[in-house]
Amino acid sequence: MKKNDALQAVKFALFSASAGIIQIGSFTLLNEVAKLPYWPAYLISLILSIVWNFTFNRRYTFRSAANIPVAMAKVFGFYLVFTPLSTWLGDLAAGKEINEYIVLAVTMLSNFVLEFLFCKFVVYRGQENTREDKKSE
């Protein structure tokens, strides 16, 4: 693993952790306060974390000047597969009386690993470190 790849993995992990806090916080509110069933609470909290994570990782982790709508469409494609599968499997697990927070933790860990690989090798492939920061003078 190159030095830049390791740094990207660390940055991605830190931004994903912040997105994870958003996901856990919103899931907890929706699950405990709003008393939503697992799947809508999970789905809403996942969408909030996706938007957060995409925004910061595009700008700071991959430093990409890639066309934002194209990059977001690729990420959307990833989530077209990941979201229904993780929602369905998570709902099945929660229905088997597995603690919702254990299900959420396993799902979030899977999401972290798969999304990093997808972003690195599909979304931003050949477009990393193309963003020029505006410097204030």
Question: How confident is the model over 72-127, as pLDDT tens digits?
Answer: 999 999 999 999 999 899 989 989 999 988 998 999 899 999 999 999 999 999 99
User: In this structure, what are the phi and psi dihedrals at residue 8, rounded to the nearest 5 degrees?
Assistant: -60, -45
Q: How far, in Å, CA of 118 to CA of 102, rounded?
A: 24
pLDDT tens string 24-64? 999 999 999 999 999 999 999 999 999 999 999 999 999 99
Q: How far, in Å, CA of 125 to CA of 119, rounded?
A: 8
